[in-house]
Amino acid sequence: MSEAVPVVRLAARGDGVTADGRFVLGAAIGDAALFDGDTVTILAGPGHATPPCRHFPECGGCQLQHITDDGYARFVADRIVGALGHVGIVPGWVAPVALSPPKSRRRASLRAVKRGNKLALGFNAEASHQIIDMHQCEVLTPALFALVAPLRELLRTALADGQGAGVTLTESDTGIDALLANVAAERLVDIERLTDFAAVHDLARLSIEGAHGVETVMEARQPLLAMGGVPVALPPAPFLQATREGEAALVAAVAEAVGGTRRIADLFCGLGTFALPLSQAAQVFAVDAAGPAVQALTAAARAHGRRVKTVHRDLFRRPLTAAELEACDAVVFDPPRAGAQSQAAMLAASRVDTVVAVSCNPNTFARDAETLVKGGYRLERLWPVAQFRWSTHVELVAQFRR
């Protein structure tokens, strides 16, 4: 006998969860799930949306295209607040979610594989190594998506049967930077094929990653990206915020959180996403283990007279100590998904007045937040940011004060 059960929440991976605890793929809050033996039928409610992409739900690039924008924003905020709740922390204030628009993602890592005379290029299927051959994408910028079909033809010619390759695309202020992994560039015919492709499609730079590292095949223009009004030269396949709108939301939140402080440490600084904007009004001490990024930030700050002192240092193995942090009025830290457990412990032991956490993982953020709170900090303000639209990947800025 069939029964309809309301969907009352979304799990961390985006599945709908019914009132009796069953998980339903593709359901939204407000839907009803009709169970009839092993068959599940979703009865759409007001929170259900029509997915705009033909590849949904197979493509792993998006998990939540079937959710309205209001429902998605609630999912993003709940993911963060829920993770904090598990460690007993309630933020004093939560901002509205900053949601990046469709077709705004300016960087992407795609995979390709050749089978027979066909080349599949796109994102992986959800929880799978299968590649969804991309013929539509509602998240990439139009300029990046326009390269997908030409790249498919290029790689179909360049790869042997059964060979795979990686494609990393970055849209800079001066054009597209492309990095191809596992693509031959040793024979003259291979090099000419790549340089002709780069010229025809007006790439700023085309590089190859192989056994001996990264080699630039062609650079018509240096890929540059402005941060805080300073153009930064990008190394190949750099880490940067996924969308311009998301970056702007994160930078604005960090600037508001540090207030008028004059001596700021920016830990896990990368290319200077926060260091360069903050350096317009403060002296910044920027630290990261990524050598090429630190070099790019150092050169950009020096060329434009910004007060940024950079240090190349592995903060996982050698976090800044409480004594080293004494000179700082505020500390910003933006670690990878693993969080900053050791650095958070040092911050908790310090006397820094304001600590600002930027995170892309609510669970490791909650762990580090618990460390700070136990050290005497209060989580006063929280800014959720959703720049990976329709995905379960969420980001945030949090202000901690003593």
Angle (nearest 5°) at CA 382 between 93 and 255: 115
Query: Domain locations in the chain?
Result: 3-48, 73-101+240-401, 107-224
Q: What is the CATH topology of the domain spanning 73-101+240-401?
A: Rossmann fold (3.40.50)
DSSP E strand stretches across 154-229: 164-172, 175-181, 205-210, 213-219, 224-227
The rounded distance, in Å, linking the Cα atoms of 395 and 250 is 9
Round the CA-based radius of gyration of the chain to a whole number and report it. Answer: 23
Active site residues: 360
Tokens of 53: 């992409």
Per-residue pLDDT of the chain (402 residues; tens, 9 = 90+): 577 899 999 998 889 999 999 999 999 999 999 998 888 999 999 999 999 999 999 998 899 999 999 999 999 999 999 999 999 999 999 999 999 999 999 999 999 999 988 999 999 987 788 999 999 999 999 999 999 999 999 999 999 999 999 999 999 999 999 999 999 998 999 999 999 999 999 999 999 998 888 999 999 999 999 999 999 999 988 889 999 999 999 999 999 999 999 999 999 999 999 999 999 999 999 999 999 999 999 999 999 999 999 999 999 999 999 999 999 999 999 999 999 999 999 999 999 999 999 999 999 999 999 999 999 999 999 999 999 999 999 999 999 999
DSSP string, 33-64: EEEETTEEEEE--TTB---S-TTTTTBTT-S-
**Exposed, middle or buried: residue 116 (CB in 10 Å: 0-12, 13-18, 19+)?**
exposed
Do 268 and 248 form a contact (C-beta atoms < 8 A)?
no
Considering the four listed CATH numbers 2.60.120.560, 2.120.10.60, 2.40.50.1070, 3.30.420.480, the one that applies to the domain covering 107-224 is: 2.40.50.1070
Assign 292 to helix, strand or coil: helix
3-class state of residue 75 by DSSP: helix
